[in-house]
Amino acid sequence: MTLQMKERDLRRLGLGHLLQPSQEKGKKTNKFNAEKVVEENKTFDSKHEKRRYDALLQMQRIGLIQDLKTQVKFDLVPKVRYPVAGKTSRGRTYIADFTYMKDGELVVEDAKSKITAQDSTYSLKKHLMMHIHGIEIIEV
């Protein structure tokens, strides 16, 4: 007996990455199948990220946080030149979903699901943020 799951069931279980990429021309798919949301000239990588932005905007309006920013870049590793190969490798950065000030402290947040929080590249960048900048990324 063969068990077949529908596309929506795989997505609900966080297994959307197992689906075949979209066959539509020009349509890119996110490796975690998150849908981009565009609103007020801002692009969000997922509906979850957009909801968190709305909540943070409310918090800023009532004075709980200040200086809310989106897509803030942090340098992690500078570019490297390989003299023998004659090539240069680009530097590495981390782009935070949100930064803001709360009680005089910088807070860095990333909208992550349980699956995306386990991504090895993200895990390394989170580690480097703490090591280099002394900043702990808060996952929401």
Q: Please report whether residue 43 resides in a domain.
A: yes
What's the burial of 35, exposed, middle or buried (CB within 10 Å: 0-12/13-18/19+)? exposed
Kindly state whether residue 11 falls inside one of the protein's structural domains.
Answer: no
Structural domains in the chain (count): 1
Residue 102 located in a structural domain: yes
CATH of the domain at 89: 3.90.1570
Torsion of CA 117, 121, 124, 125, to 10 degrees: -80
**97, 71 contact by CB (below 8 A):** yes
Print burial letters for 116-132: b (CB count within 10 Å at least 16), e (below 16): beeeeebeebbebbeee
Q: What average pLDDT does the segment 36-53 reach? A: 87
Reported as a single tens digit per residue, the pLDDT across 69-125 is 999 999 999 999 999 999 999 999 999 999 999 999 999 999 998 888 888 999 999
Q: What is the pTM of this model?
A: 0.70
Does residue 97 lie in a domain region?
yes
19 occurs within a structural domain: no
CA 48 to chain centre: 11
Contacts of 12 (CB under 8 A, 6+ apart): none
| Residue 135 belongs to a domain | yes
H/E stretch holding 109 reads strand 105-110
What's the domain range around 101?
A: 33-139
Report the pLDDT value the prediction gives residue 18, as an integer from 0 to 100: 66
Domain contains 93:
yes
| Per-residue pLDDT reduced to its tens digit, 3-24 | 666 677 767 777 766 666 554 4
Question: Residue 115 falls within a domain, yes or no?
Answer: yes
